[in-house]
Chains A and B, each alone.
Chain A
Amino acid sequence: MERTPSLAERVVVNAVVLVFVVFALYPVLWVISLSLSGGGMGEGGSVLPIPHDPSLANFKMVLGGDDPQKTWLFGRQLANSLLVSVLTAAVAIAIATPCAYALARFRFVGKEAGLRTLLVTQMFPTVASAVPLYLLLDALGLLDSRLGLTLVYATTAVPFAIFQLRGAFESIPVDLEEAAMVDGASRFEAFVRVVLPAARPAISVTALFAFMSAWNEFILAATLLSRESAFTLPVVLQRYVGEHDAQWGAFAAGAIIVSAPVMLLFYVAQRQLVSGLTAGGVKG
């Protein structure tokens, strides 16, 4: 299959990737240094981010020192974040997949108008629609509930999910489904058994996107939720930024804690993402 690359190629490819790894990591190293010391925002005046007077005090504070009532609040809020983000990804995928499939495979009245509307929704800055959204959730009785928040996040992720998945479904040869249907499967069965597995990489990308959009959001979460035990982590972190000053060290420590699960998730899930590369070599 793939031929063995020359030494020069190996070196160049690794070097290029490493340059970008440094680019990606350097600012984060400042955040880490900040979390260990609690000084300025990368304003150390030096090239290398070395924390002065390193301590884990910020991490301790975020993980529980700032929890005067000792109720495992941070743990519960982490669970909230995970629950909301995972559900957001699941709901967004569940809503978007059938719709994207129909948009990729069927011709029906209203298809073009629907696609255009979806695109338009992404163009409207949220600054103007936050208040109506609040009123709507109020009317639905979904204020101050994690389910309501999940629903809002999922619907915001749905337009992207539909576009992304529609593109993926279009690139899957239609013969695959037809073969299944000749074998007696219904259209829907062919969709579930043949198309969905083939679109796994695109579904993973979309799910990751939906997960991330929920994982980092705080304005809507802070506005819609009104119980501390229901807060998600970004809301908790944002509390370290006050009107006059901010505890950047604690914020940075929290940010690192918040990003660890995402990286873990990505490390585990990346096989799904690129599975087509290894498994898709030989086709029927």
Chain B
Amino acid sequence: MTSTTAVNDLVKSEYEHGFTTEIASDTFPPGLDETVVRAISQRKGEPEFMTAWRLKAYRHWLTMTEPNWAAVDYPKIDFQAISYFSAPKRPEDAPKSLDEIDPILLETYQKLGIPLEEQKVLAGIAVDAVFDSVSVATTFRKSLAEVGVIFCSISEAVHDYPDLIQKYLGSVVPYTDNFYAGLNAAVFSDGTFVYVPKGVRCPMELSTYFRINARNTGQFERTLIVAEAGAYVSYLEGCTAPQRDENQLHAAVVELIVLDDAEVKYSTVQNWYPGDAQGKGGIYNFVTKRGDCRGARAKISWTQVETGSAITWKYPSCLLRGEGSVGEFYSVAVTKGRQQADTGTKMIHIGKNTRSTIVSKGISAGEGQQTYRGLVRIGQRAEGARNHTQCDSLLIGDRCTANTVPYIEVRTPTANMEHEATTSKISDDQLFYCRSRGLTEEDAVSMIVNGFCKEVFNELPMEFAVEAQKLLSISLEGAVG
């Protein structure tokens, strides 16, 4: 089969997880003003400090303008046409265990291949599943509580641990940070809070599956993870979404706070609806993710596999303040059809002997447009800082785009910074070699692409690595005859 046909097949491949769950939502009418912000806060029964913070954020947001520097193109978002709150039915009797969960919901998860109960048993993963904007299931909290790990929805945390929330929320990504972070602070609906006390190694991988469901409901998730000195936690985030026509805005904020000798590993598999063949209807994924290595030898590792969304605008970053702290960013991003992704990372070296590694693999097919945009800043006091950056792009088909825009700013002579980038297609030699060993062209491509991404997949927790490889194969299905 010719490569044009192959690309056409790829563009046409349907979104596997496209279906809508019919469940009554308690949704605010579209629109945003101070009343809405107050109402969200009130509905969630938040203490006064939260309401005040949200309002400050909202007022500041009004003075901000939408960023337009990213290499993405989309119709202007009407922020008054979005509904800012949507809770599943009967929020007053939120389920306490799986039995109480709406069976339609459970079925939805099963369709997505996330059998909650089995996962509990088989994979030992605690799942805090977010359906629309309110957490409806939290598992394994008890066993986590035994070691002192707090793993709950951020709304619960606001009630139960207001001191921690006041101390840490917005301390890494303030509401003044950028347009979408400001909006998120004003209207965030829910999210996850993780607190790992001093010296504790979290006994299991923590995971949240996000679902975007109710029509026209923007999702404004807020995640806050605090790792005290010597703590360790691995957090997994994955998502799929039902097929629909309207564009959906997702503006999440993730904050990580890592103290002396602590480590946070944050992994994401993102497979939101990318839109149809004309690029209509996909998710806008405008996310601010930032980790702060506040202590010496702290470590943050971001791993992401981004295959979905119509538009991705995402730069998981590390502030390397503590002496000898380490930041890592491993990314695989796939754009096909009309998907657009402008993604990368920021490594801000502030402390002495800080180290960072960036490995970014971009795969662009069909009419996909992809930009790696990254910043490595090594400040004057970051003596002995090290950075190694590698960004590789793989192009499939002659109508796609791959851009690399690294910003490198170095102000200390003892720093060592290396950056390399390549752009290529799957070589005919490689394909021929595999074919001559009896592999079909599709298997060969899949194998080569998986090899191209291996460095990143190796960083994923095992369950995710398997899922990611599967996702990549599905994404590229029909890429070649």
- Do they bind each other? no
| Interface residues, chain B, with chain A CB atoms under 8 Å away | none
